[in-house]
Amino acid sequence: MHGSTAHVHAYIDDAEGEVDDAVLIARTRAGSDDAYSELYRRYEYSAFRLARHLGRREEADDVVNEAFARVLDLLQRGKGPTESFRAYLFTTIRHECGARAKQEKRVRPTDDDTQIDSAVEFGAGTLDAFERETVRAAYASLPDRWREVLWALDVDGRKPQEIAAMLDLSPNSVSALVYRARAGLREAYLRQHVKTEAPEGEAHTEVRALFVRVLRRTATARDQERVHTHLASCSSCMTVYLELAEDAARVA
């Protein structure tokens, strides 16, 4: 009899007003397909709009379905968001769009062997005083070897073959060194932007310190999950994260 009463109350809750996301999340974790279908119905349209805005329009369907599938998998394993489903879903979509854009850039075919000569662009080539200082600080934080090869290539304008002779390296080793140095510069640049000090407390500060690695996809699975879980319930950190994501997209 008690179980029947509980079922009736749940039905009344659904009938009298829209069920809270947290309730639907809990029901999904308990195995309810209908609960997750309702979450999908609520956020499908806005999710597609975000995916179309951030990535290729023709890939929006795949991005959204992948994002919903990932969140469902986490919920079924007792992980993921507990309240802010929308924020968690949108973060997942941003990551998926970013990953696809990065992959497309990596596999873009070219027969131009001088691609290595292209410099890292910041601010479309026009930097204000703050950005100049940010780039300078990011460069200064790099290991000596990375600074040396970037300076020779991007400032002195030396060719990879010249750098190979100068550093007593093979051309392939120079290419690998440049790749690591540029990736390191991008990451250091983002670290100069992230606001790690959070007035809310140490937990927020620790999570913000992981943002760059999560955006650069170098964080461990455990750290990624920690960040996603925190963002799902912290609007202030989500704001910082999204601002940093925009900076990351400019230097991807």
Contact at 8 Å (CB) between 228 and 89? no
CB atoms within 10 A of CB 90: 22
State the pTM of this model. Answer: 0.47
Alpha helices (H) in the chain, listed in sequence order:
2-16, 21-29, 33-54, 60-76, 85-107, 129-140, 144-150, 160-167, 171-193, 202-208, 211-215, 221-231, 235-250
Q: Which of 196-232 are b and which e, b meaning 16 or more Cβ less than 10 Å from the residue's Cβ?
A: eebeeeeebeebbbbbbbbbbeebeeeebebbbbbbb
pLDDT score, position 198: 53
Give 130's pLDDT tier (boundaries 50, 70, 90).
low
Q: Greater confidence, 142 or 8? A: 142
User: Tell me, what's the pLDDT at 157?
Assistant: 86
What is the predicted pLDDT for the residue at 161? 86
The residue that leads in pLDDT, 138 or 203, is: 138
Task: Encode pLDDT of 73-111 as tens digits.
Answer: 889 888 888 888 988 898 888 888 877 777 666 544 444
Q: Which pLDDT score, from 0 to 100, does residue 117 have? A: 46
Does 203 score more than 90 pLDDT?
no
Residue of 200, 121, 117 lying closest to 159 (CA atoms) = 117
The pLDDT tens digits of the residues spanning 25-72 come to 999 999 999 999 999 999 999 899 888 888 888 888 889 998 999 899
Task: Give pLDDT tens digits for 150-190.
Answer: 998 888 888 888 888 888 888 888 888 998 999 888 888 88
Q: By the 8 A CB rule, do 28 and 78 touch?
A: no
More confident position, 41 or 198: 41
Half-sphere exposure of 226 (CA within 13 A, CB side): 16
Q: Which of 193, 217, 185 is nearest to 95 (CA)?
A: 217
**Residue 206 — very low, low, confident or very high, per pLDDT cuts 50/70/90?**
confident
DSSP 85: H
CB count within 10 Å of CB 44 equals 14
- CB distance 12 to 19 below 8 Å: no
Give the pLDDT mean for 8-31: 70
pLDDT greater at residue 121 or residue 215:
215
Q: What is the DSSP letter of 142?
A: S
Cα angle for residues 203, 206, 208 (degrees, 5° grid): 110
Q: Which residue has the tokens 């973060």?
A: 91
Question: Residue 242 has what pLDDT?
Answer: 76
Q: In the predicted model, what is the mean pLDDT of residues 224-246?
A: 79
